[in-house]
Amino acid sequence: MNNKKIEKLISLIIFGIFSSATYGEGSMSVSFKNNSDGLLKCEKKDNADYVTFLRLRPDEKKEFQNFHMPVDLRCYISISSNSVTTFTYFPINKAGEYELLKEKVPCEKCKSGTDSKWATIVVYPDGKTFYSKW
């Protein structure tokens, strides 16, 4: 191998090491925090199916290093032994902590005749909130 090829190879190796050190580890860290009083369950979309990948008791937190993004999730929280919140569908496409809450939200078309329902609220790493409105 001539010197130019060796220099290019060394440059690529060094560039790869430093770029992964500054980009890889922190950018793919995702955590989930159950900030409710019920069991949180989340499912990850795998092709056309949703597969359970996370269960957290109240106040538990789970961190994933090298989380593969983007991914579509749906989560719900237990209300009682025989009921849960409606699914909240949301994408994970940024690193950081995703906090999940159980809250009463307005419901204009509830069949039960009430004006509110329990929902799973997602608080994104940037502080924005979301829940699926049915």
Per the document, the length of the chain is 134
**Structure tokens, 120:** 């799973």
Global pTM value? 0.74
Per-residue pLDDT averaged across 88-114, rounded? 88
Quote the pLDDT of residue 16: 44
Q: How far are the Cα atoms of 45, 94, 97 from residue 125, in angstroms, in the given order?
A: 21, 8, 5
Quote the pLDDT of residue 4: 61
pLDDT digits (tens, 9 = 90+) for 74-96: 999 999 989 999 899 999 989 99
Q: pLDDT tier at 110 (50, 70, 90 boundaries)?
A: confident
Quote the pLDDT of residue 115: 83
pLDDT digits (tens, 9 = 90+) for 40-87: 999 999 888 999 999 999 999 999 988 888 899 999 999 998 999 989
Residue 129: is its pLDDT beyond 90? yes
